[in-house]
C-alpha cells in the first residue's frame, strides 16, 4: 500500500511545530515562570528540526517518483518552491521597514541592530543563513527559510542519493545520521555549540543532514509498510518519549533526531487512514508558514503597543493577554495566507512558467 497523495497528519504537524516555536519565543515576558516547571516550551526551537525533516520527506513524496520516471523538471521545481516561500518573506521585511521608519519618526525606542541595512541584501536573496549575515537581524525566524532555499537548490543531489540507494533505505538513513553527527562536530569546533543550535550563523548546515533524513525516511516507507496497529502504538510510544525528552531537556541531538520516527509513524498512520476530508486542523497546517513567519514581528509590535501606547502591560504579560495575542496572531496569519501568500504564490508561478516557456522556446 503506497502513501496517499495528501499526508494530512503531516500537514497538521506543521501547525503544532510552528506553534511550538511561537511559545518558545513568546514565553520570556510571561508572568508565570514556565521554565521552572517544564522545559517543554524552552525546547520549542526543535520545531524547526521537525520542519527540516518533514520538508525532506514531503518533497521526496511529491517529486521522487517523477525523477525516477524522467518527469522531474528542476526549473519548474525551483519556481514552485521560490513562489512558496519568498513572497511572504519579502512582505514581512517590507512590514519591518515600515515599523522601523514609523518608530524612528515617532521617536519610539527600538533595537536598531535588528534593522541592519548591511544584512538586508542577503535577507532579500534568502542567503542570510549561509554565513552572509551572521547576526540576528530583520525577521529572525527567516534564517530557516534561507536554509530551506539551500536545500531546494541542492534537491537534485538529494534525489540522486535517493535513487542510488533506492533498495537500501537503511543505508541512506545511516549516511544521513552519520552526516548529522559529522556536521555537529564541525559546529562544535567552530562555535562550541551543537548542530541543533545553528541558526542565523551558518544555520544552513543544520538542514543538510536533516533534510536527507526526511528523504531517507520516505525511502524506508516505500520499502516497508507497518501494520496499522503497530504504527499506532509505536507512534504513541515515540510521542510520549519525545515530549518527555523535551520536558526534561535531553541532549539537543537526541531531541532533534527523535523527530524522525515521529514523522515516519505519522506518515504510516496516513497510509492506513485512506482519504480524509480537509478540516480546521488541516487549514491551520496550511497557514503554519504564515504563523511561523509573522509571530516575532507581531509580538514585537503588539507588546510595544500594549506597553508604550496603551499602558496595559509593564514588563510582563498575564496568560489571558498572551492567549488573546495568540488568537489574534493566528487570525492575522490566516489573513496573510489568504491575501498575501496564496495570491502571490499563484502569480509568481504563472510568471515563472511563462519565463521558462520563453527561455526554452516552447
Q: What tens digit of pLDDT does each residue of 126-147 get?
A: 999 998 887 777 898 999 999 9
Residue 362, pLDDT score: 64
**127: three-class secondary structure by DSSP:** coil
Q: Judge whether 360 lies within some domain.
A: no
- Alpha-carbon torsion angle 157, 161, 162, 167, nearest 10: 170
Residue 229, pLDDT score: 95
Instruction: Tell me the per-residue pLDDT of 219-273, one tens digit each, with 9 for 90 and over.
Output: 999 999 999 999 999 999 999 999 999 999 999 999 999 999 999 999 999 998 8
Q: Judge whether 358 lies within some domain.
A: no
Q: Judge whether 308 lies within some domain.
A: yes
For residues 121 and 270, give the distance between their C-alpha atoms in angstroms, rounded to a whole number.
41
Domain residues for the domain of 303 are: 8-351
Q: Judge whether 123 lies within some domain.
A: yes
Q: Judge whether 361 lies within some domain.
A: no
Residue 135, pLDDT score: 76
Q: Judge whether 52 lies within some domain.
A: yes
Q: Are 339 and 66 in contact (CB under 8 A)?
A: no
Residue 32, pLDDT score: 85
Residue 282, pLDDT score: 87
Q: What total of structural domains would you count in the chain? A: 1
Residue 279, pLDDT score: 76
pTM above 0.85, yes or no: yes
Sequence-ordered alpha helix ranges (H) in the chain: 8-26, 47-68, 74-106, 120-124, 143-153, 155-164, 169-191, 204-223, 228-247, 252-273, 280-286, 288-304, 319-336, 342-360
For residues 350 and 26, give the distance between their C-alpha atoms in angstroms, rounded to a whole number.
37
Residue 42 grid cell? 524552552
For residues 291 and 288, give the distance between their C-alpha atoms in angstroms, rounded to a whole number.
5
Residue 315, pLDDT score: 78
Residue 29, pLDDT score: 85
Q: Judge whether 244 lies within some domain.
A: yes
Q: pLDDT by residue for the chain (362 residues), tens digit each?
A: 688 888 999 999 999 999 999 999 998 888 888 999 999 999 999 999 999 999 999 999 999 988 988 899 999 999 999 999 999 999 999 999 888 888 777 766 666 677 788 889 999 999 999 988 877 778 989 999 999 999 999 999 999 999 999 999 999 999 999 999 999 999 999 999 999 999 888 999 999 999 999 999 999 999 999 999 999 999 999 999 999 999 999 999 999 999 999 999 999 999 988 666 667 888 999 999 999 999 999 998 888 787 776 767 777 888 888 899 999 999 999 999 999 999 999 999 999 998 998 888 76
E-strand stretches of the chain: none
Residue 73, pLDDT score: 93
SS (H, E, C) 10-21: HHHHHHHHHHHH
Q: Are 4 and 273 in contact (CB under 8 A)?
A: yes
Q: Judge whether 115 lies within some domain.
A: yes
Residue 309 grid cell? 501606547
Amino acid at each position: 500500500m503506497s502513501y496517499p497523495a495528501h499526508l494530512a497528519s503531516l500537514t497538521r504537524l506543521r501547525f503544532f511545530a510552528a506553534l511550538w516555536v511561537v511559545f518558545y519565543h513568546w514565553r520570556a515576558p510571561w508572568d508565570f515562570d514556565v521554565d521552572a516547571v517544564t522545559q517543554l516550551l524552552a525546547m520549542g526551537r526543535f520545531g524547526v528540526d521537525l520542519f527540516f525533516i518533514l520538508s525532506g520527506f514531503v518533497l521526496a513524496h511529491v517529486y521522487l517518483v517523477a525523477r525516477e520516471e524522467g518527469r522531474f523538471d528542476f526549473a519548474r521545481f525551483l519556481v514552485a518552491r521560490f513562489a512558496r516561500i519568498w513572497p511572504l518573506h519579502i512582505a514581512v521585511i517590507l512590514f519591518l521597514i515600515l515599523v522601523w521608519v514609523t518608530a524612528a519618526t515617532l521617536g519610539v525606542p527600538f533595537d536598531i541592530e535588528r534593522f541592519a541595512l548591511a544584512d538586508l541584501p542577503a535577507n532579500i536573496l534568502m542567503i542570510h543563513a549561509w554565513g552572509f549575515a551572521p547576526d540576528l537581524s530583520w525577521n529572525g525566524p527567516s534564517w530557516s527559510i534561507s536554509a530551506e532555499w539551500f536545500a531546494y537548490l541542492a534537491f537534485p543531489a538529494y534525489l540522486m542519493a535517493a535513487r542510488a540507494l533506492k533498495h537500501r533505505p537503511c543505508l541512506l538513513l545511516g549516511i544521513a545520521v552519520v552526516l548529522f553527527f559529522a556536521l555537529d562536530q564541525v559546529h562544535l569546533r567552530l562555535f562550541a555549540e551543537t548542530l541543533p543550535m545553528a541558526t542565523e550563523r551558518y544555520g544552513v548546515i543544520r538542514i543538510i543532514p536533516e533534510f536527507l533524513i526526511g528523504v531517507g525516511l520516505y525511502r524506508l516507507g516505500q520499502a516497508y509498510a507497518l501494520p496499522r496497529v503497530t504504527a499506532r502504538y509505536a507512534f504513541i510510544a515515540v510521542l510520549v518519549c519525545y515530549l518527555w525528552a523535551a520536558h526534561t531537556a535531553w541532549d539537543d541531538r537526541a531531541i532533534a533526531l527523535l523527530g524522525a520516527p515521529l514523522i515516519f509513524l505519522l506518515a504510516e498512520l496516513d497510509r492506513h487512514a485512506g482519504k480524509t476530508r480537509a478540516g480546521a486542523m488541516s487549514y491551520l497546517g496550511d497557514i503554519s508558514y504564515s504563523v511561523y513567519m509573522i509571530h516575532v514581528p507581531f509580538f514585537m509590535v503588539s507588546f510595544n503597543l500594549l506597553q508604550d501606547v496603551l499602558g496595559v502591560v509593564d514588563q510582563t504579560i498575564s496568560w489571558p493577554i498572551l492567549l488573546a495575542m495568540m488568537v489574534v496572531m493566528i487570525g492575522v496569519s490566516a489573513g496573510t495566507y489568504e491575501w498575501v501568500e496564496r495570491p502571490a504564490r499563484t502569480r509568481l508561478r504563472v510568471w515563472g512558467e511563462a519565463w521558462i516557456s520563453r527561455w526554452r522556446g516552447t
